[in-house]
């Protein structure tokens, strides 16, 4: 699903302030259906020239956090950022020790290029890199594969779950075990 922000903000190209961000958050919640299957929800910034940190906090990070808590199969990602918006988002998420998916979208919501903005701590970074390399994984599989690191399945599961909470990995239940896979592919 793709949410064109220019359409949800009455054509505004400069998005600023916490109040405007909360207004967009309400609109995003209203137009986002729940999903039975894991689904990316692209927040499309096409034609948006500027977005302030306070706006991004309330609208973008607010929506990501809402979706990950209340819409279990909806995974927000930011799309088609202009340079000024990309710089502001990267600065903001780094300052709070956070990270988000960004991408360029083509027609039909095809992801052309994907990357992360922000920064993961070293433990989460290595777990994320393993997920990118291996694809669909479980905590017991990571514990076995990286047995020399002496990290047990519980610690791997905690790392994988933290990445899923940030919307970087898709979480699926397989009986009593959860599997995790990257939401997008890094180009």
Residues 151 and 108 placed together within one structural domain of the fold: no
**Residues 20-54 pLDDT 10s:** 999 999 999 999 999 888 999 999 999 999 999 99
Range of 96's domain? 2-118
Predicted confidence (pLDDT) at residue 126 exceeds the cutoff of 80: yes
The confidence score (pLDDT) of residue 20 equals 96
Residues 33 and 59 placed together within one structural domain of the fold: yes
CATH, residue 141:
1.10.10.10
The confidence score (pLDDT) of residue 105 equals 93
The Cα–Cα gap between 47 and 185 comes to 24
Strand order of the β-sheet with 39-44 is 2-4, 39-44, 74-79, 99-105, 111-118
Which of 91, 118, 145 delimits the end of a domain? 118
Predicted confidence (pLDDT) at residue 148 exceeds the cutoff of 90: no
| H or E segment to which residue 103 belongs | strand 99-105
- Average pLDDT for 161-169: 92
Residues 149 and 93 placed together within one structural domain of the fold: no
- Average pLDDT for 83-101: 94
Which of 92, 118, 144 delimits the end of a domain? 118
- Average pLDDT for 119-126: 91
Residues 39 and 113 placed together within one structural domain of the fold: yes
The number of folded domains in the chain is 2
Instruction: Grade residue 187 by pLDDT with cuts at 50, 70 and 90.
Output: low
The confidence score (pLDDT) of residue 170 equals 92
């Amino acid at each position: 699903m793709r949410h064109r922000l220019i359409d949800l903000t009455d054509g505004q190209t400069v998005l600023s302030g916490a109040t405007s961000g909360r207004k967009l958050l309400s609109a995003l919640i209203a137009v986002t259906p729940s999903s039975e299957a894991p689904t990316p929800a692209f927040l499309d910034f096409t034609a948006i020239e500027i977005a302030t940190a306070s706006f991004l906090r309330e609208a973008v990070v607010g929506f990501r956090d809402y979706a990950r808590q209340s819409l279990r199969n909806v995974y927000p990602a930011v799309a088609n950022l202009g340079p000024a918006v990309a710089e502001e988002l990267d600065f903001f998420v780094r300052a709070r020790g956070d990270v988000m998916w960004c991408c360029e979208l083509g027609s039909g919501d095809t992801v052309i290029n994907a990357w992360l903005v922000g920064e993961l701590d070293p433990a989460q970074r290595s777990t994320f890199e393993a997920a990118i390399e291996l694809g669909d994984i479980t905590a017991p599989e990571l514990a076995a594969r990286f047995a020399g690191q002496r990290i047990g399945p519980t610690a791997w599961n905690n790392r994988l779950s933290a990445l899923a909470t940030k919307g970087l990995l898709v979480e699926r239940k397989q009986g009593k075990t959860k599997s995790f896979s990257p939401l997008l592919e890094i180009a």
